Each structure stands twice: as structure tokens, then as C-alpha cells.
Amino acid sequence: MNTFDFLFELGTEELPPKSLKKLSNALTNGICGGLKEAGINFAEVESFAAPRRLAVSIKAVDARQSDQEIERLGPNVKAAFDKEGNPTPAALGFAKSNGVEFSELTQVETPKGTRLQYKAVKPGAETTALIQPIIEAALAQLPIAKRMRWGASRNEFVRPVQWVVLMADDQVIDACILGISAGNTTRGHRFHANQEVVLNHANDYEQALESNSVIASFERRKQTISEDATALGSTLNGRVVINPELLDEVTALVELPVVMHGNFDKEFLEVPAEALISSMEEHQKYFYVVDNLGKLMPNFVFVSNIKSVKPESVIEGNEKVIRPRLADAAFFYQTDLKTTLESKLSRLENVVFQKQLGTIAEKSRRVAELAKFIAPLVNANIAESERAALLAKADLVSEMVLEFDDLQGIAGSYYAAKDGEPHSVANAIKEQYLPKFAGDNLPSEPVATTLALAERIDTLAGIFAIGQLPTGSKDPFALRRASIAVLRILIENKLDISLTTLFNEALNGYSFLEFDVSDVKAKVETYCLDRFRAWYDDPQISTEAINAVLAKDLSSPYDIDARIREVAKFASSDDAESLAAATKRVSNILSKADFDIIEVDSNRFEEEAEKVLYEKLKTVLSSLETNTSRDYDFALTSLSQLRDPIDTFFDDVMVNAEDESVKRNRYALLQQLRNALTSVADISRLVV
């Protein structure tokens, strides 16, 4: 089959830099998906994305679809003809539905008898005739939050479309995309080559643009920026810190990356480094430079979109722009230092946390009381934990945080240190928001751990107390993230603390509200523990293993995690399936008991199998009692010893004996057995 090389480019006004990579990937996937769905084969695919263009190049695209053989079965022959041998309405309807005369139908033998058949070959369509709807469908599915219109056009896209290139080899494909007729003319760099560029072949695209000062490949520009920035850092005797998200954003801002560096006054280094970095990264899209010790240097690296004949002028311009930004940061910092962090607390009385739960100041006092309770549980200093909790939110009303909201906690830690607060207090203020996302670091010290827990537990308790539970995608107080953070802190720090204990104490701080304490506590605990279902990346940890442990109604995340990991390993053992079935069988029998189950009386055993099971069970229970270290691997291995005695018991013993006393004694044995089998988890829930 003949093939052609395909090119599609959509030329626009400057595209949103933070969305460019995502838009490019989605467009490529959409077009490729459309070709596959149409049965059109192709070879290599390459995406291009620059500030003013999205493009897709595909090699060896089939020139047409393969012919399709169509076979459809109709009614049985017996139902296709009447007594006179004429076609019935059902037979005529089948022919009509396929657009043919009845005489054109054939008959075929099937397992259900002889049936009418429509058989034909549908010629494949020309690929070029299918391209426009495929592209339109891909464009319609792009992840664009808000589309716009331009001029008098009713078409919508993320930015106004200026030109469209659509080619098969050296030919333009006749199409109209978003109101613009396709051609073979693209455009060069807005400043260096502000002209139309005619493409003679689809394969000329990348080279033709490069000749006109545009590097169309997103990945090539990204690599150039990364390599040149790293090299510049070495010439400065430092290291350029390249934030991956910022690198993607800067790559999306330029068509022709030219990496340069500038300097700023050393006196600005007296300002907290995080404020300077925020100014450089967020406002100016600059990369910062650190020395071998990781300390900020008075240099920055930036990416220009032009090759200037006077690069010193470009550098000077960028230095002029960054200077007032850094001066603002220095001013805010110096202003904040004129008063202590503690003196800012009074202003929190006017900042509302949540209408029903009060102000940030009131929340801080609640968290401080909760921190005093939690501190001994994590071996933290009580007084320092209380102090950190009281001061934790004071920087929210500082000039620095009002200007740089990403410095919450960080600014407060600097001010606390300047005020002479203990290191643990300043560090806790800084680390109170950790972990912020999956895989993020945890608080590094006990006081910080106490504050991080107290802050989140208080929020969870309060929001659940007023009934504003997260629903669907709405989670305004980030309770999902808060609950996962609580789990991580408790589990990874090996803190065997019950959620019941924590929420009991937290809910005491909400005595001014009216709510059912036991109901709220149950709901918030269940909500937190449900996060276990999406917690594990390990494919070996099955949903069944998680459910088996959660069925125990435990409350310590650390203990629950330890059980889940061992139960998941046990689930793949030879004994798991047998014991899971036995546990389910025992539970089913006990559920039918219509009498009070007594203690086991070994003198009432009549069968050897029940005696053997009882003695083995006593041995296992004894070993479990000595297992004070919660070694669940040992516990499950011990329970595995019951497999053969249980099988023999059910083979040889009639539980519902005619003698009522014997029957009740066997039920008592089964109840003791079930208690043992479910001591680690409800293993009847395992499905191996």
C-alpha cells in the first residue's frame, strides 16, 4: 500500500506556557488515536511545540484505508420465506437495512441453522479525505479550561489561530481548520525572521523553521536551555538550580533560546533566600545559582528569545528589572523585623479560618492545646510544641507572606529565629506544612511532627463536626491531603498512636459546637482510614488484604500498615486459601447459633479430630500471647499450623451433634478458633 509523510501545524498567537507541553501531547495522541480508529497505519510520530505553534509530523501514513469485508447474518431461512416460497417481511427488511435487493443476499450454514447473509467489500477511503474530521476531533478534545473567540469568527480555541499547515508529502491537503484554509506556509521567528516560510515537503518542516530562527522541537529547546544553564553555572563557580516545572515553562516561552546570566547586589543576600528565589522564579522566570555549600549566590540565569548584537544590553535590562523586585523583598523583610512574631498574633483575631469554627487566632489556641496532648506521644518537648503551635500562623499577616504567599511558615521560621525562639520552635513553624504532596519530606524533628499532626487533626475534627465533608471533587480544606499526611507521619515515624485517641482530644476543643461526638469521631476516623485503599503503590498489596485488616476496626495507622503488609505476603502462601475458606465456614456456622456460646470443656470432646484441633489451637494461642512485639509474620505463620487440624475436623466431626451439650461445646471450640484466625485480620476476606 502507498504511504505518505504527514505534517499538521496550527499557528497561533502566543500559547499559555504552562499548558503548552500538555496541549502538544494531547494533540499528538488525538490525531494518532483518530488514525488508528480509522484503521490507518503509520510509523514514527514526532511532536513540535513552540510559543506560536503546535505541530505533528507522522511518517509513512497509509494513503488509504484497507478495504473492509462486511458480513452480517439475517433471519433463519425458515423464517425468511412464507409457504409460497416468497420472502417474508423480515427477510425483505434485512435486505433493505443493508441497502441491497433480496436477490443479492446469500445463505450460510451456522450452528443455529441456515441463515440469510449479507456479504460485501467496503472500499477503504482516501486518508486525505479523513484527515480534517480526525484533526477537528483531536482539537475538540484538547484539555483547554477556557476557550476564546476572535474577530467575527465563531470558532473557538485557546488562542487566536493565524495559519494552518496541512501536507501529505509535497501536496497540500484541502481542508479548513478552525475557519482557516490549510496551506504549506508557516512563519519564522517573530523578530529574527518575521516572514512567511514556504514548505516544499512535509519533511522540510523542522529544518526550514530552524533556518528561520525557530527551534520547533520542545525537547531540543529544553535540552539546550538545561545544558547551557549548567555550563554557565560552572563559569560562575557555582551550580544553577533547575526547577523542572520552571524549565518547561521557560522552554514554552521562547522559540530561539539564548541563555545568559546576570548579577544582583550582594546586600540582598541578607534577605531570606526563599524570598529571593521566589522573586526570581515566580516573577521573572529566572534560575538561581548556589555555591558548593548550597548557599545562594548573587547571580541569576535567564533565557532570552533573541540573539542580540549587544548581549550586554539584554543582561543590563534584566538586572534592572530584578533589582526592584529584590528591593521589595528586602523592604518587606525589614518591615516585618521591626516587630516580633508574637506581636503579630493579635492581628489573627480578625482573620477568619471558617465561619463556624472561628478565627485563625482561635484555631491556633486549639492547636496549641492539642499539641500539648500529642507532644508526649511523639517524645517532643511539651512547652516548645505549645509555643510553636501558638506562633505557627503569625506570619500569615506579615508583609512578606502577603506579597509572597508561598513563604508561609518559611517567613515565620526566620522571624522566630530572629526573636530568639528555640531552634525546634522555628523549625516546626517552617515544617508545619510538610508533607505537601505525595513523596514530599516529613517534618524532621519531634516538635515539628507534633505541630504537623495537631494542625491537621484539628482541621479534620472541626470540618467534620460542622458536617462539611468533602464530596466528589470538592475539598476546599484539602482534607484528603491532610488525612494522607497524618497517615504518612504516623506510619513512617513508627508512631503507634490511635486515631481515636487523637480525635477524642481534638473534638474536646470544639465544645462550643453542637454535634454527636461519637458519630463525628466515627466518620472522621473512617474517612482517614479509607485513604489506605489508595495508599499503596505496591501491586502485591491487594484490596482484599487491605479490607481484611480494616475489617478489624483498628485505629492505629502504624499497626494497620504493619498488618496489611504481612497479610498481603501471607495471601500468596499455600495456606492462605485454605484458612480463608475455613474462617468463612466457621463464621457461617457460628452465625446460625441461637444460643449463648459457652466456654470450651475438653472433657466433652468425643472425636479425635476435635481433640487434636483443640490441643493445636491451645499451642498456637500460647505462641500468639508471647508475641508482644506485634510480629504479624510470626502470628500468621503460627496460624498456618491450624490448616491440617481444621481440614480433618470438618472431615470427621459433625458440629451439629444430636447431643445438645456436645453441639454447644463444638460451637465454643469454633468460636475460639475464629477468634484466633481473625486475630491479625479477617482472613475470610482474602481472595487468592
Question: 3-class DSSP state for residue 242?
Answer: coil
Q: 544 lies in a domain? A: no
Q: Quick one: pLDDT at residue 69?
A: 76
Lowest mean pLDDT among 21-35, 234-248, 610-624: 610-624
Mean pLDDT of the chain: 91
pLDDT tens digit sequence for 624-638: 887 777 788 888 888
3-state secondary structure 580-630: HHHHHHHHHHHHCCCCCCCCCCHHHCCCHHHHHHHHHHHHHHHHHHCCCCC
The grid coordinates of residue 563 equal 498488618
- pLDDT bracket for residue 666 (50, 70, 90): confident
| Helix and strand element counts for the chain (H, E) | 25, 18
Q: Quick one: pLDDT at residue 613?
A: 84
The grid coordinates of residue 144 equal 483547554
Which one-letter DSSP state was computed for residue 440? P
Q: Residue 526: which of 474, 566, 478, 470 has the closest Cα?
A: 470
- pLDDT bracket for residue 582 (50, 70, 90): confident
Q: Residue 168: which of 133, 195, 199 has the closest Cα?
A: 199
Give the total number of structural domains in the chain: 5
Cβ neighbour number for residue 651 with a 10 Å cutoff: 8
Q: 498 lies in a domain? A: yes
Provide the domain limits for residue 174: 3-65+126-210
Q: 180 lies in a domain? A: yes
Q: 560 lies in a domain? A: no
pLDDT tens digit sequence for 354-374: 999 999 999 999 999 999 999
Cβ neighbour number for residue 592 with a 10 Å cutoff: 8
Q: Which residues, including other chains, have CB under 8 Å from residue 594's CB and lie 6 or more apart?
A: none
Q: Which residues, including other chains, have CB under 8 Å from residue 408's CB and lie 6 or more apart?
A: 395, 396, 401, 433
Cβ neighbour number for residue 182 with a 10 Å cutoff: 21
Give the strand pairing for 296-304 and 358-359: unpaired
pLDDT higher for 656 or 169? 169
149 and 41 both lie in a single domain = yes
For residue 330, pLDDT beyond 70: yes
Domain stops at, among 336, 355, 386: 336
Q: Quick one: pLDDT at residue 644?
A: 87
Question: Which residues are registered as beta bridge partners of 81?
Answer: 87
348 and 487 both lie in a single domain = yes
Q: Quick one: pLDDT at residue 184?
A: 96
Element (H, E) at 121: strand 113-122
pLDDT tens digit sequence for 523-558: 999 999 999 888 887 778 888 899 999 999 999 999
476 and 527 both lie in a single domain = yes
Alpha-carbon span 413 to 416, nearest angstrom: 5
Q: Euclidean distance between the first and final Cα of the chain, in Å?
A: 49
Mean pLDDT, range 482-510, rounded to an integer: 95
Domain stops at, among 154, 186, 210: 210
332 and 389 both lie in a single domain = no
pLDDT tens digit sequence for 452-494: 999 999 999 999 999 998 887 788 899 999 999 999 999 999 9
> pTM of the full predicted structure?
0.80
For residue 611, pLDDT beyond 70: yes
Q: Where are the alpha helices (DSSP H) in 143-243?
A: 205-210, 218-235
134: CATH: 3.30.70.260
For residue 180, pLDDT beyond 90: yes
> DSSP states of 514-566 as a string?
---HHHHHHHHHHHHHHGGGGT---TTS-HHHHHHHHTT----HHHHHHHHHH
The grid coordinates of residue 18 equal 504552562
For residue 1, pLDDT beyond 70: no
160 and 105 both lie in a single domain = no
Q: Where are the alpha helices (DSSP H) in 38-149?
A: 77-80, 89-97, 127-140
Domain stops at, among 516, 535, 554: 535
The grid coordinates of residue 487 equal 497517615
Alpha-carbon span 18 to 30, nearest angstrom: 20
For residue 2, pLDDT beyond 60: yes
Q: Quick one: pLDDT at residue 133?
A: 95
For residue 189, pLDDT beyond 60: yes
55 and 73 both lie in a single domain = no
Q: 548 lies in a domain? A: no
642: CATH: 1.10.730.10
The grid coordinates of residue 209 equal 523553521
Q: 556 lies in a domain? A: no
Alpha-carbon span 116 to 87, nearest angstrom: 11
Q: 549 lies in a domain? A: no
CB 23 within 8 A of CB 78: no
Q: Quick one: pLDDT at residue 275?
A: 93
528 and 666 both lie in a single domain = no
Alpha-carbon span 283 to 668, nearest angstrom: 73
pLDDT higher for 612 or 488? 488
CB 336 within 8 A of CB 411: yes
473 and 398 both lie in a single domain = yes
495 and 408 both lie in a single domain = yes
Q: Quick one: pLDDT at residue 687?
A: 64
Q: Is 236 left (phi over 0), alpha (psi -120 to 50) or beta?
A: alpha
What sign has the CA pseudo-torsion 352, 353, 355, 358?
negative
598 and 658 both lie in a single domain = yes
164 and 202 both lie in a single domain = yes
The grid coordinates of residue 195 equal 516572514
Q: Quick one: pLDDT at residue 121?
A: 75
394 and 457 both lie in a single domain = yes
Furthest-apart CA atoms within the chain: distance in Å = 108
Q: 543 lies in a domain? A: no
pLDDT tens digit sequence for 237-289: 999 999 999 999 999 999 999 999 999 999 999 999 999 999 999 889 999 99
